[in-house]
């Protein structure tokens, strides 16, 4: 796998790749491959490796922003913290929620136990977490949704889907019925980062083949599938 073939945006300070599902951003404890193993191929003439600005779960594919120098990394990080970044995700839910669109305002907190490990849950005393959603299509008792999260909490969309809409994201082994060998059907389809002087960073990841294999076509406004 060559991540240099997955570039969606590139200039002197920013790089956006279409991260493949199954590739973790941070090195796993078991020593298996991660984004770090591919950073040398993403230098594109620079001496420094690019640095990821945010995180996507291992199973989540799509737009991942990397900064090509430390100064840019700081500015992009502050933009995420200030909620000045437009993020758009696609997800297939293991069921069909009522309604066509809405907003989930559900604070999240971390919980853990010796039996099940850690996970995020809805908690009125947790950190503010807001996600907007719209239902795009239904096929075989499942729904294709587009999420626009305002915040970027850990596992936010996965918990909001389950606790806010009543159905987990298909394949989710933590919050849904997925097995450890399954992959969560979540895709970061669009990322926009405004910049003061330069034009904004705009990247759109192609509609995933794994979504199309379940009977869903690329919705209006989505980038087409690869190939």
Q: What is the mean pLDDT of residues 190-194?
A: 96
Q: How confident is residue 197, by pLDDT bands cut at 50, 70 and 90?
A: confident
Residues 130-147 have pLDDT tens digits of 999 999 999 999 999 999
Please report whether residue 107 resides in a domain: yes
Provide the CA 205 distance to its chain's centre, in angstroms: 11
Please report whether residue 160 resides in a domain: yes
Into how many domains does the chain fold?
1
Q: How confident is residue 227, by pLDDT bands cut at 50, 70 and 90?
A: very low
Among 57, 59, 94, 172, which one carries the catalytic annotation? 57
Residue 24's CATH number = 3.30.2350.10
Nearest residue to 93 (alpha-carbon basis) of 200, 181, 168: 168
Alpha-carbon gap, residue 75 to 81, rounded angstroms: 10
Please report whether residue 217 resides in a domain: no
**Catalytic (active site) residue 105:** no
Nearest residue to 191 (alpha-carbon basis) of 83, 91, 85, 81: 85
pTM above 0.85, yes or no: yes
Domain that holds residue 80: 3-212
Residue 54's SS3 state is coil
Please report whether residue 24 resides in a domain: yes
């Amino acid at each position: 796998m060559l991540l240099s073939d997955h570039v969606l945006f590139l200039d002197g300070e920013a790089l956006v790749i279409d991260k493949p599902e199954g590739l973790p951003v941070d090195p796993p404890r078991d020593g298996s491959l991660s984004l770090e193993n591919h950073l040398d191929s993403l230098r594109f003439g620079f001496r420094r490796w690019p640095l990821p600005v945010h995180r996507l779960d291992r199973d989540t594919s799509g737009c991942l922003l990397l900064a090509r120098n430390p100064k840019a990394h700081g500015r992009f990080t502050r933009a995420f913290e200030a909620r000045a970044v437009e993020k758009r995700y696609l997800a297939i839910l293991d069921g069909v929620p009522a309604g066509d669109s809405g907003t989930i305002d559900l604070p999240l907190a971390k919980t853990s136990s010796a039996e099940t490990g850690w996970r995020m849950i809805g908690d009125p005393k947790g950190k503010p977490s807001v996600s907007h959603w719209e239902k795009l299509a239904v096929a075989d008792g499942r729904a294709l949704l587009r999420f626009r999260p305002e915040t970027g909490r850990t596992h936010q969309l996965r918990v909001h889907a389950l606790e806010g809409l009543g159905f987990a994201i298909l394949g989710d082994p933590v919050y849904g019925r997925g097995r450890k060998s399954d992959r969560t059907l979540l895709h970061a389809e669009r990322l926009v980062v405004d910049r003061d002087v330069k034009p904004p960073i705009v990247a759109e990841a192609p509609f995933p083949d794994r979504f199309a294999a379940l009977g869903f076509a690329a919705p209006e406004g989505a980038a087409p599938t690869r190939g």
